[in-house]
A and B are shown apart, each in its own frame.
Chain A
């Protein structure tokens, strides 16, 4: 390549990076505004031009106000942690068991049953949510964390995702264990689960993010305020304290932090998981 062509290519790359950089900035700007507003004195929130780095820091007072006293954001936080961790754990376990049955055990109607499961993936939540509401009311699961956890513990998507991975594991691996006299329980625990660890991590992280963010189910299935999870707690917060924007932004920052931590550690798993089925192969 000639010298001129190299320089031209470099310029193109710099321009492209700049264009993307501006785009990426607009993607994070509202989030930066949120963080900055959460650290300000209320009177400075809407100052224009925006003070990206607050002149008057009010971080500790703001966060203290939200986390203690009459706001008591801590309760919503604990509820979210409890519901999210239990849902995620159960979901991964139940999906893995189902996926194992569909990929490693031979039984009648296997393909038919799997097709029936999969066909339900197309049906929107809105169709099933009304009967679920009624089931929960008659089973006394309405307005309880247990109901919310059970509701989230089963998903066809999770099972589908894990089945894809498990089907790819060579049968020779489990066959040889079978010859050595291992039952399905042992093959599942000792061979399949360790091998599918990356898939389990992917599902766990996706499920964590989705459950943490879930707004619709708690909105319908919870009534008591002290049982609220963060998304519900936040909307309540906002309607009751409409004019305390800095405090609302504290709550928003707190709601997002666990997600950022999960994303930071599991970026690759999360992105992989979201693309199952997206690209051919």
Chain B
């Protein structure tokens, strides 16, 4: 008996060794180290021994930094708009697609294409399409009589909306596909019963579809908030945070502090603020779901 136990233990160790090593080196240790760094000042060049604890100083400094406060605001605006608009459009499209359309699979695949394509390649395509002078978007706007089309990515007012539009566009296919899967589990007899009661398309949508897909909505909203909060690639390629601070988001701020200015302390503090926000959102949603998510 004892011999058998140790044999199991040995097998467990062997099978887990590679992933556990990865877990230690790439997750557990970095998390602890970054927590320490967020309360410390460190000149990287002079080794571990030069780490100095400074308490909450990093946090005090970044909250006075206009770049940081603007990046927080931008991240919140970006997250709220991409999630609300992105998820709503996806639901409407998914309902139309499942309930009434021909060529379902072709349409689905077409809408999924941007999501599966290379983000950097797509960002570059958008950048060129939105080129203020010659880009096809503005040429189109000029041709239909818009006198002064926006400069898009070079315009303080329009850079963020352009980024938001691109992000929604890119993720729409994914959200829609997830909704299609969610809709397929809604029993059709519910709709039939409602039809007999004389319910129209809108009230069926409002009183059956929305409550029945609420677990899917819940998932998409949580994942959407988390992913939008972490957005980096699109922003760094398209605008690098500019013009001014108009598109500087939290992830970009962290990247710049760490790898442009080598201020690992404030970058870590900002990263932990990001984590705390994501953590709180997850907890709130987790508690809140009981109220508004309908499980059968």
Query: A residues engaging B (CB < 8 A)?
Result: 9, 12-14, 16-17, 19-21, 23-28, 30-31, 33-34, 37, 46, 48-50, 93-95, 97-98, 100-101, 105-108, 110, 113, 116-117, 120, 122-135, 150-151, 153-154, 156, 159, 183-185, 188, 209, 212-213, 215-216, 219-220, 230-231, 234-235, 238, 245, 248-249, 251-253, 255-256, 259-260, 263, 267, 270-271, 274-275, 277-281
Assess the B254–A105 pair: CB atoms within 8 A.
no
Assess the A259–B117 pair: CB atoms within 8 A.
yes
B96 at the interface (CB under 8 A from A): yes
Interface SS, A side? helix
Q: A28-B110, A28-B113, A215-B236 given. 18 additional CB < 8 A pairs?
A: A21-B107, A27-B169, A94-B18, A98-B16, A106-B8, A122-B226, A127-B272, A128-B31, A129-B30, A130-B37, A131-B33, A134-B44, A215-B120, A234-B121, A234-B124, A235-B124, A238-B124, A256-B121
Please report the C-alpha to C-alpha distance between residue A37 and residue B125 in the assembled complex, in whole angstroms.
10
Chain A residues with Cβ under 8 A from B219's Cβ?
277-279
Interface 9-residue window, one of B20-28, B60-68, B77-85: B20-28
Please report the C-alpha to C-alpha distance between residue A271 and residue B179 in the assembled complex, in whole angstroms.
12
Assess the B107–A24 pair: CB atoms within 8 A.
yes
14 A-B pairs whose Cβ atoms sit less than 8 Å apart in the complex:
A27-B114, A33-B129, A37-B128, A46-B134, A98-B18, A105-B15, A117-B23, A130-B34, A134-B33, A156-B23, A216-B233, A245-B128, A248-B128, A252-B118
Please report the C-alpha to C-alpha distance between residue A124 and residue B232 in the assembled complex, in whole angstroms.
12
Assess the B26–A275 pair: CB atoms within 8 A.
no
**B215 in complex: contacting residue of A17, A30, A125, A279, CB < 8 Å:** A279
**A124 in complex: contacting residue of B96, B97, B271, CB < 8 Å:** B271
Assess the A126–B33 pair: CB atoms within 8 A.
no
Assess the A131–B37 pair: CB atoms within 8 A.
yes
Assess the B185–A279 pair: CB atoms within 8 A.
yes
Chain B residues with Cβ under 8 A from A279's Cβ?
178, 181-182, 185, 215-216, 219
Find the A residue at minimum CB distance from B129. Answer: A30
Chain B residues with Cβ under 8 A from A212's Cβ?
118
Q: How far is the CB of A178 from chain B (nearest CB, A)?
A: 11
Assess the B174–A151 pair: CB atoms within 8 A.
no
Please report the C-alpha to C-alpha distance between residue A219 and residue B135 in the assembled complex, in whole angstroms.
28
Assess the A17–B110 pair: CB atoms within 8 A.
no
Find the A residue at minimum CB distance from B99. Answer: A16
Assess the B11–A31 pair: CB atoms within 8 A.
no
Please report the C-alpha to C-alpha distance between residue A30 and residue B14 in the assembled complex, in whole angstroms.
49
Find the B residue at minimum CB distance from A9. Answer: B100
What are the 7 closest A-B residue pairs judged by CB atoms, nearest first? A154-B22, A98-B19, A131-B30, A46-B134, A128-B30, A101-B15, A231-B120
Chain A residues with Cβ under 8 A from B30's Cβ?
127-132, 135
Chain A residues with Cβ under 8 A from B23's Cβ?
117, 120, 154, 156
B196 at the interface (CB under 8 A from A): no
Assess the B110–A48 pair: CB atoms within 8 A.
no
Chain B residues with Cβ under 8 A from A134's Cβ?
33, 44, 264
Interface SS, B side? helix
Chain B residues with Cβ under 8 A from A270's Cβ?
116
Find the B residue at minimum CB distance from A263. Answer: B116
Q: How far is the CB of A83 from chain B (nearest CB, A)?
A: 14
Q: How far is the CB of A271 from chain B (nearest CB, A)?
A: 6
Q: How far is the CB of A111 from chain B (nearest CB, A)?
A: 13
Assess the B101–A17 pair: CB atoms within 8 A.
yes
B211 at the interface (CB under 8 A from A): no
Chain B residues with Cβ under 8 A from A23's Cβ?
93, 111
Assess the B136–A46 pair: CB atoms within 8 A.
yes
Assess the B215–A16 pair: CB atoms within 8 A.
no
B53 at the interface (CB under 8 A from A): no
Q: How far is the CB of B83 from chain A (nearest CB, A)?
A: 15
Chain A residues with Cβ under 8 A from B270's Cβ?
126
Assess the A16–B177 pair: CB atoms within 8 A.
no
Chain B residues with Cβ under 8 A from A26's Cβ?
169
**B34 in complex: contacting residue of A122, A127, A238, CB < 8 Å:** A127
